[in-house]
Structure 1
């Protein structure tokens, strides 16, 4: 995967965490810098770990699905992208998307909830020749930066910008899945 592809993937995977962080920052009012950093660390670590778990599961199953791996990668990436578009258009409960509690347990649960898409993407990455450590590190660092910044910017920009970012990320993931499918089918043809 090219550096640009990794960057697009990292930003796309981080948008859910950014949107939730913006909501948390807006709900808290004036989040302290330490709270923003804590949010970034938790979201970043969880978001970096989940694609590795998905990748490991995908590697374990790859020998059984090698003939259709490009379709699986497309379906997972496109599905996650479409799900992000659905959420951005209002398909989720905003109160559930942006918990206001400062509890570490609630923060971890929220981070896991926003990172399930990264696990699905990790499964699709198992069918490609990629360095999962580099990709996971890029996703984790990007999520850390976007979540910490989202907390601090939440009061100023509110949920509207977070929703726009989620729409763009959904489109980007769908496009990445489509490019994988087109590239593979072009190699066969």
Structure 2
């Protein structure tokens, strides 16, 4: 597979994680550079690892990824986004899904945004294509997009205040709905 094709696949896969990074970064009040590196590494790592898992599982995972992955992604994103909205509306508006002590949420977000990368790995296995270079490319691109997204979201969050937390939650729920609708109608 040509590198340009791999790069386009990587950019496409990084878009969901990028949107989550922007919405999470918008709710951060401090430590944006630290969180940009953490989120970039976590999301990039999951995005790089999932295609490898899909490639290793090959045809065995094909049925699962086609049938259940969109539902899992929808549920995770809707629950996390809904929780963000509720916390902003009920609390003082200082909710951040990237905040310290929230490792479970971070892992769930990383999994939810990288499930499509699992399906890409299955596709690579079916095509009998190598996976190492594409996985590394996907991870690096996702790292860059997510680190930049946290910083971009942080700039937006300073300007928008409490509304940024609500917008972030709405974005997550909307992403989950988009994934589910695409699955149901395609």
Map 1:65-144 → 2, pairs under 5 A: 92=78, 94-95=81-82, 99-103=97-101, 105-106=103-104, 107-144=106-143
Q: Take 2:51 and 2:13, find their aligned partners in 1: how far apart are those partners?
A: 10
The aligned residue for residue 187 of structure 1 is none
User: What is the Cα deviation at residue 124 of structure 1?
Assistant: 1.4
Corresponding residue pairs, total? 149
User: What is the Cα deviation at residue 31 of structure 1?
Assistant: 3.9
Contact between 2:32 and 2:154, CA under 8 Å: does it hold in 1? Answer: no
Contact between 1:50 and 1:115, CA under 8 Å: does it hold in 2? Answer: yes
TM-score, L = length of structure 1: 0.63
The aligned residue for residue 184 of structure 2 is none
User: What is the Cα deviation at residue 34 of structure 1?
Assistant: 1.5
Instruction: Compare 3-12 and 107-116 and name the one that shifted more.
Output: 107-116
Gaps of 5+ in 1: 63-71, 171-189
The aligned residue for residue 2 of structure 1 is 2
Gaps of 5+ in 2: 85-95, 157-163, 180-186
Contact between 2:46 and 2:111, CA under 8 Å: does it hold in 1? Answer: yes
Classify the secondary structure of the residue corresponding to 2:52: helix
